[in-house]
Amino acid sequence: MNTFFQGKRLRRTAELRSLIRETPAITASDLIMPYFVVETDTPTFRKEIPSMPGQYQLSLNMLREQVAKAVDNGLRAIILFGIPATKDPQGSGAYAENGIVQQAVRMLRTHFPKLFIITDVCLCEYTSHGHCGLLSPQGDVLNDPTLQLLTRTATSHAEAGADMVAPSDMMDGRIQALRAGLDAANFTMLPIMSYAVKYASAYYGPFREAAESAPQSGDRKSYQMDPANAREGLREAAADIAEGADCLIVKPAGPYLDIIRRVYETYDIPLCAYQVSGEYSLIKAAGANGWIHEEAVVLESLTGIKRAGAKMIISYFTEELLQKRQITL
Ligand code: PBG
Ligand code: ZN
């Protein structure tokens, strides 16, 4: 027997294991729950997303009911996505004063004063072509004209009462544009959490069904990052920090733990990871088939993300973990 290192000596009891555990347990203060709110005349609208069992498109009314239960269970933070009644090439629903996200924020703000409300800032749920920015007649994404619309969107979310805005469009210079716009509108203390390191990922498939935001032609590879690139992620992070981002998101999470770790070790800035729709759907599908112990895999996946260096985690499992008391508050 090797008498030097005896790994098992420190694994004998649950008490000892918890004493030496390096990564703190996942708590409600780590997690952010995404919601999809739909602009609809049907107050009872609540439609399960086929590829994301347990996740719903919700009317304002149903969103209020669902968030009320989750808040009772300890939910602290959410990120909102909107699905407008109509779409157009300019994505005007994104920055409409009475747009669906703006309405949802105002409603949630009055009912849940302490809930931390983050809004996703992008055009793709609102554009008829499904791209994250304006398109030229040739079908190219127009960077600078898009910045103005993103700034209007973020400012309108702030006016509605959002606590933080999270731009996910991947246009260049957007953090600087948003910061300037928010400051000019007197929201100098409103933080920006940038989806700085966002990959062109096939793991977003179920989200695009949920948000009805799939691009009608082409793909997002001309603005989202190549999954093969790690060092480029650091340049994206550096640019957004220089432009004034307050915290950063790496997205997706599970297949990109190396990126989370590198950003964590390189920059002293609060870091968030987005466990995206496809990561959720894979676990749900295998769980439903009895191929994995779903609850254990969920916690292990989140522990891995936290161990890699993300403090905040956006996860579709948040509500369920709280409801089943699988994490502490
Ligand atoms: C919109 C946006 C997307 C996601 C978050 N914001 C989709 C995309 O970029 O195509 C994906 C989230 C998920 O898959 O859960 N820009
Ligand atoms: Zn988008």
The reply to whether 66 falls in a domain is yes
Distance of alpha carbon 172 from alpha carbon 23, whole angstroms: 35
The pTM score is: 0.97
Residues with CB under 5 A from ligand 2 (ion): 122, 124, 132
Distance of alpha carbon 185 from alpha carbon 160, whole angstroms: 13
Q: Which of 198, 204, 216, 222 to mutate to test the pocket of ligand 1 (most atoms within 8 A of CB)?
A: 204
Cα(283) to ligand 1 centroid in Å equals: 18
Average per-residue pLDDT for the chain = 97
pLDDT at 28 over 80: yes
CATH number for the domain harbouring residue 284? 3.20.20.70
- What band does 241 get if pLDDT is binned at 50, 70 and 90? very high
Average pLDDT over residues 195-219: 95
Report pLDDT digits (tens) over 61-75. 999 999 999 999 999
Report pLDDT digits (tens) over 107-144. 999 999 999 999 999 999 999 999 999 999 999 999 99
Average pLDDT over residues 93-111: 98
Atom of ligand 1 nearest to the CA of 122: 16
The reply to whether 8 falls in a domain is no
Rounded to 10°, the helix 257-266/231-243 angle is: 50
The reply to whether 128 falls in a domain is yes
Write the residue with the smallest CA distance to atom 5 of ligand 1. Answer: 168
The reply to whether 174 falls in a domain is yes
The reply to whether 19 falls in a domain is no
Average pLDDT over residues 261-271: 98
Cα-to-chain-centroid distance, residue 188 = 23
In whole angstroms, how large is the CA radius of gyration of the chain? 20
Report pLDDT digits (tens) over 139-197. 999 999 999 999 999 999 999 999 999 999 999 999 999 999 999 999 999 999 999 99
Ligand nearest to the CA of 36: 1
pLDDT above 90: percentage of residues in the chain: 98
Distance of alpha carbon 158 from alpha carbon 70, whole angstroms: 23
Average pLDDT over residues 286-299: 98
Number of domains in the chain: 1
- What band does 10 get if pLDDT is binned at 50, 70 and 90? very high
pLDDT at position 4 is: 85
Distance of alpha carbon 179 from alpha carbon 182, whole angstroms: 5
pLDDT at 257 over 70: yes
pLDDT at 3 over 80: no
Could you give the 3-state DSSP secondary structure of residue 145?
Answer: helix
Under a CB-based contact definition with an 8 Å cutoff, are residues 215 and 163 in contact? no
The reply to whether 237 falls in a domain is yes
Active-site option among 87, 114, 198, 306: 198
The reply to whether 39 falls in a domain is yes
Distances (CA, A) of 85 to 16, 41, 42: 55, 9, 12
Cα(169) to ligand 2 centroid in Å equals: 5
pLDDT at 294 over 70: yes
pLDDT at 239 over 90: yes
pLDDT at 1 over 80: no
pLDDT at position 312 is: 98
Domain extent at residue 162 = 24-323
pLDDT at position 2 is: 64
The reply to whether 147 falls in a domain is yes
